[in-house]
Amino acid sequence: MHGVFDREQIAATATPSNRWRDLTMSNRQFLAIGDITIISYKADVTRADGEPYSALVSSGYFRRDAGWKLVFHQHSPL
């Protein structure tokens, strides 16, 4: 799965079989420039089926009057 997806396509992937547990975050990075913030990290998890899984994850947020809004998310399996 790669590309640009809309809200409904992303929500359809959030199934119980895709859930993570035992999350460990490492190599955490944080960048804030004005109203834009980017966080990135390496995620080591256990999947719902018990299999180990690792990925590089980045998320970008934009500050609005009502609070922070996720505007970008990238997830690359290792």
pLDDT digits (tens, 9 = 90+) for 14-64: 787 778 889 999 999 999 999 999 999 999 999 988 999 999 999 999 999
User: What are the pLDDT digits (tens) for 33-44?
Assistant: 999 999 999 999
Among 8-12, 55-59, 68-72, whose mean pLDDT is lowest?
A: 8-12
Strands 67-77 and 36-47: unpaired
Tokens 């009502």 belong to residue: 66
Region 7-77: CATH code = 3.10.450.50
- Rounded to two decimals, what is the model's pTM? 0.79
- Give the whole-angstrom CA distance, residue 18 versus residue 29: 25
Domain locations in the chain as residue ranges: 7-77
- Give the whole-angstrom CA distance, residue 56 versus residue 40: 7
